[in-house]
Amino acid sequence: MLSFSFAMLGLTEYLLLAVAAIYLAIQFLKPKVKLPPGPRGLPVVGNILQMTEKPHLQLAAWAKQYGEIYTIQLGSNTGIVLNDQKLIKDVLSNTDFSFRPDIPLFSMFSGGEYGIINTNGAAWEEQRRWVLRKLRDYGFGKTSMEGVILDEVSEVVEYFKANGKTPIEVADRFNVATMNSIWTILNGKRLSQDDPKIRAVLTAFHDVPAAIGNSGLMFAPWLRHVYPKSYQVVKNAADSVMKYARAAVSEHFDSYQDGITRDFIDEYIDEIKKTEEPSSSFHTNEGRKNLEAVVSDLIQAGAETSSNTITWAIAYLSHNTKVQVELQKELDTVLGTRPVALSDKPDLPYTEAVILETLRHSSIVSGGVQHSEVNGYTIPKGAWIFTNIYFVHHNSKIWGDPENFRPDRFLSNDGKKLVKALIPFQSGRRQCLGESLARDTLFFIYKYHLSKI
């Protein structure tokens, strides 16, 4: 038994040496390019182990050390981190940088490389163009969505008022409310706040950020063998949202009638049925898989991006009494007792400043590239581009006192809105789908319902 143990130890050492030798050989054979400077990492894992606790703080610390652009190594993936507002906007507005890297962990949420979040090339262009056009046709991002958003916010606020003495999970209620704003477009129906199926989806999502952030799973899929519980949390969430999306799509296919379009999903099915080009992402079974993924993508945009922003907004406001007073003063002066409308935005600069400060204070969000060049550095094909939004929005050289919640930093002396380096929802062609929904929902929460609470 003793000799067997020594034999096994020798085999383990041999395997480790073999892995290290292969890794060093790969690094040696890689074509040499002029990469931005960056922190030194470990063999095989690179900088992953330095980013598992609070990655946004580690990225910010490196930004202070290396400047507006630096390189990190995430397992076998090269990461390029952008830490300057102008550089971020310039890079992400370039079509070379709209490429989305292959991240198996994220692909699970769309059933593979389908939809608009996890696709690239012609399929992404085709899906993105069609989806955005149809969303706009149904009023997404327009004043015609005003009534839908207002109804959802009203229901949540009334619930808070009726249960004021009971501890309430704010995010829990706003998750469904923001999802409903999208779901009424997708499915033509509202979800009940207590719908068990959507509750199951939202519950599954709850622990995903911690599972990903604390394990490095996003950067190195093989770590699922090291962190099986974290991987299972992510898989359960992905399975849950895809199951929900597929059920909605199946229901629509079963009840679809030619010439009758009830909602967004029907419009998509209509596009599938009339598409004859085999190479199209709308063609037959490929089209159905893309539809399921698009529904999943939009659920995530509504349930996560928008509701998380709103939850932060409530938290910041509740801890800043002076801001509440100023906000109430502006509402009373401009609106009096009449209802608020999106058209009132230009007349409510302080409230807009509160929204901007909320977006600045709560920011954290990324992509990959084709082979290109930035600031004289060569960015190799397949590199991951990280937009260090947290650092940009917490850079003391720009904001002075970034740790403080101070809306008036966005206002000039005459009270007009003064937008500085703010990139809350990503830039470029991969801009977040939930941006307009989050902004408009915040508008109604702050401008209409605050006066009723």
Q: Is residue 396 part of a domain?
A: yes
Q: Is residue 105 part of a domain?
A: no
How would you write 266-281 as a 3-class SS string? HHHHHHHHHCCCCCCC
State how many domains the chain has: 2
Does 288 lie in the same domain as 365?
yes
Does 402 lie in the same domain as 343?
yes
Q: Is residue 407 part of a domain?
A: yes
Nearest-angstrom CA–CA distance, 60 and 446 = 30
Q: Is residue 259 part of a domain?
A: yes
Nearest-angstrom CA–CA distance, 65 and 301 = 34
Helix (H, G, I), strand (E, B) or coil at 379: strand
Does 138 lie in the same domain as 8?
no
Least Cα distance to 295 among 126, 106, 121, 115 occurs for: 115
Does 164 lie in the same domain as 56?
yes
Q: Is residue 225 part of a domain?
A: yes
Q: Is residue 40 part of a domain?
A: no
Does 401 lie in the same domain as 253?
yes
Does 137 lie in the same domain as 9?
no
Does 382 lie in the same domain as 356?
yes
Does 61 lie in the same domain as 13?
no
Least Cα distance to 97 among 373, 294, 301 occurs for: 373
Q: Is residue 36 part of a domain?
A: no
pLDDT in tens, 222-241: 888 888 999 999 999 999 99
Does 2 lie in the same domain as 128?
no
Amino acid at 61: A
- Taking only the tens of pLDDT, the chain with its 453 residues reads 433 343 444 555 555 556 556 655 555 555 566 889 999 998 888 998 888 677 888 999 999 999 999 999 988 888 999 999 888 888 877 666 556 667 778 888 888 889 988 888 889 889 999 998 998 888 776 667 788 888 888 888 888 778 777 777 777 787 788 888 888 889 988 888 888 888 888 888 778 877 887 777 877 788 888 889 999 999 999 999 999 999 999 999 999 999 899 999 999 999 999 999 999 999 999 999 999 999 999 888 776 666 677 778 888 888 898 998 999 899 889 888 888 888 888 899 999 899 889 888 887 555 555 555 677 787 887 788 888 889 999 999 989 999 999 999 998 887 777 776 676 655 555 666 666 777 788 888 776 556 555
Q: Is residue 111 part of a domain?
A: no
Range of the domain at 11: 1-30
CATH of residue 139 = 1.10.630.10
Does 227 lie in the same domain as 366?
yes
Residue 432 assigned to a binding site: yes
Does 127 lie in the same domain as 19?
no
Does 172 lie in the same domain as 54?
yes
Residues 427-430: contacts with CB under 8 Å, at least 24 apart: 427/88, 427/89, 427/92, 427/93, 427/387, 428/89, 428/91, 428/92, 428/93, 428/94, 428/97, 428/98, 428/367, 429/92, 429/93, 429/95, 429/98, 429/128, 430/92, 430/98, 430/100, 430/367
